Copies of this chain bind each other. A is one copy, B any other.
Amino acid sequence: MTAHIEIRNVSKRYGSLTVLDGLSLTIKANEFIVFLGPSGCGKSTLLRMIAGLDSVDDGTISINGERIDNLPPGQRDIAMVFQSYALYPHMTVADNMAFGLRNISLPAEVISARVAEAARMLEIGHLLERKPGQLSGGQRQRVAIGRAIVKEPKAFLFDEPLSNLDAALRVRTRVELAQLRNRVRSTMIFVTHDQIEAMTLADRIVVMNNRKIEQIGTPMEIYSRPASRFVATFVGSPTMNFLPIGLSGENGFARARLPDGTELQTAIRLDGINGSEHSLGIRAEAVKLANGTAATTTGKVEVIERLGDRTLLYTRLEGGSVIIAEDVGNSRVAIGDEVALALDGARTHLFDAEGRAWHNEGVGHG
């Protein structure tokens, strides 16, 4: 059984502070949805409202057509994995997993069968008799997932389950979670403020900011056609370069005049663009070192970040703006070098002062 979740016009207030404001969202059965947004934007609140841990002030939530926002949490058939895991410290791993099943008085054989199956799937069979205090972070995380799995819920909710893991473990667990997702057929909602997690795990990402949903889309839609400047900034590392520009047109496509005076032809249709001030967005991977004539502009390298497989060059253009360019891993550039940069006009985005975005016609070009 899996859940189709409908969130309609949901609002949440804490005293006079509105945390969520008339939010609507449909989550399809079996979908892996990620709520992505900066800290404090209300991701956890929304998740907890689905779980029944926070009340809904306005609006409705239904699962498979049935309204659930007035059911107590235990009756919504939902499992949640908490950021802190919230394992019961005084119970063994096995008891942690069995607790919820005992509360609904399942027969003992069913319970132990389910626990054993989950333990096998998560490779924690040898830990069943330990207490949470005797487990490493990664193991705890798996137990928390196991506790959710045994309940065979309609939907899984994850609240930043990876944020307490160290970098290496985080990457590994991320991959495991992606694999788990293929085995367990259930709707999954995952909260994070780490865009890499969101990109790598989601079927669809819900980007939230400031009480509202900024954009809903597949990871690639979010990455290559961000609906707003906020989304463009928040997703992708290094963050997208923004340059203030002057705008002109050529054959219906926008043409940008960079701060240093050079011009760049984009693939963005001019009609429809409004507003007065505009800026050009371009990701580092669309800014390369140019050899000879292909150069769009030049700049002076201020900071070099070597990531091994590529190198980021923080380059100051003549107009004073800084642009991050990407070079190969073993780049020979040194701090202080003057470099010529080629900006790929086909992979640019336009934003106006309110943060609205325009993109080229075709599919984004990562």
Instruction: Give me the interface of A with B, judged by CB distance under 8 Å.
Output: 38-39, 166-168, 171, 174-175, 178-179, 182, 193-196, 199-200, 219-220, 223-224, 234-239, 283-285, 302-303, 305-312, 314, 328-330, 335, 363-366
Contact = CB atoms under 8 A, between A and B. Distances in A.
Contacts of A194: 167
A251 B311 CA distance: 34
A308 B182 contact: no
B307 A224 contact: no
A306 B223 contact: yes
Contact of A193 (B166, B311, B329): B166
Contacts of A238: 171
Contact of A303 (B166, B175, B219, B237): B175
A322 to B, nearest CB: 10
A291 to B, nearest CB: 19
Contact of A307 (B178, B200, B330): B200
Interface pairs A-B: 8 shortest CB-CB: A329-B366, A200-B305, A223-B308, A285-B309, A330-B366, A178-B303, A219-B306, A236-B308
A77 to B, nearest CB: 27
Given A194-B167, A329-B224, A308 B235 contact: yes
B285 A329 contact: yes
B306 A220 contact: yes
